[in-house]
Amino acid sequence: MAGLLAIALSQTACTAAVIATGAADPFYSAVDAAAERRLQEEYRQKYPGVDINDDYALGRAMFEEAKRDNPAQMGHLTMPSRSVWEANNAKVNGGAAASVGQSSAPVAAASAPVVSSSRVAQDQAALKRAGTPWATVSKSWPYDALNLSSVAPYACGIKKMQFSVNGGATKTQGFSSCASGAAKADPPYWTFDQNSIETVSVTMTFANGSRQTRNFTRDEIFQR
């Protein structure tokens, strides 16, 4: 059911994209436009109060309906945030969608900008505290989302942050400059097949060159 829903949601966006480009044959463009108008009218009647021109809003309405109709199959699934939705559907608009196991933005190694030594020391100390989370996993339908952005506030203490999922290939988490005091994870999240993340190993190379590795199981870092 979830697969059929994903196909249904993508078809609406794809049809609109083809019509918008004007690249299709005029005859088929007219047929598609008429079909699109009929489909939009059906959606207006079926989902009153929903902006059917907003793919995300329409997708959420369809997703919630499917959950109500199939609670046993879809009750554990959650609708992704708008940012995740748009990243995974970027290919429709000519961009590059987030691939499974890959980021939605270029990966860049974190580097410490020129900041005070006291700030670097404070950030390193915060990162080394056991209570500072280095990673979280959540379900963002239809993916597992791995989030490493919780350490961004302490990015001045990071030289490089690397991780691997289920003992697989090592990837690097980048961060924007910490000089302004508002560093952000770049990319903000990583996607994998849903329910596929079992273990996560994170190795932090601190600004002073020292390193520390933490290993997590799914249950330890899963956000419900």
Which of these three, 53, 77, 101, is where a domain ends? Answer: 77
pLDDT band for position 141 (50/70/90)? confident
- Whose CA is closest to 51, among 80, 77, 82? 82
What SS3 state is found at 206?
strand
Buried b (16+ CB within 10 A) or exposed e, 56-91: bebbbbbbeebbeeeeeebeebebbeeebbbbbbee
Contact criterion met (CB below 8 Å) for 173 and 163: yes
Instruction: Return the pLDDT at 86.
Output: 64
Q: Are residues 125 and 71 in the same domain?
A: no
Confidence of residue 87 (pLDDT cuts 50, 70, 90): low
For residue 188, give the CATH number of its domain.
2.60.40
Mean pLDDT of 14-25: 39
Distance from C-alpha of 147 to C-alpha of 129, rounded to nearest angstrom: 19
Residue 200 contacts residue 211 (beta carbons within 8 Å):
no
Same domain assignment for residues 71 and 140? no
Q: Is 48 exposed, middle or buried (0-12, 13-18, 19+ CB in 10 A)?
A: exposed
Domain of 55, in residue numbers: 2-77
Number of domains in the chain: 2
pLDDT confidence bin for 73, thresholds 50/70/90: low
Residue 167 corresponds to which tokens in the numbers above?
């003992």
d(CA 206, CA 194) in angstroms, rounded, equals 31
**pLDDT range class, residue 34, cuts 50, 70, 90:** low
What's the pLDDT score for residue 55? 73
Task: Tell me the pLDDT tens digit for each residue of 164-202.
Answer: 999 999 999 999 998 877 899 999 999 999 999 999 999
- What percentage of the chain has pLDDT greater than the value 90? 41
Give residue 162's pLDDT band: very low, low, confident or very high (50, 70, 90).
very high
Residue that wins the pLDDT comparison between 122 and 48: 122
> For the chain, what is the largest distance between any 2 Cα atoms, rounded to a whole number of angstroms?
68
Q: Is the whole model's pTM more than 0.85, yes or no?
A: no
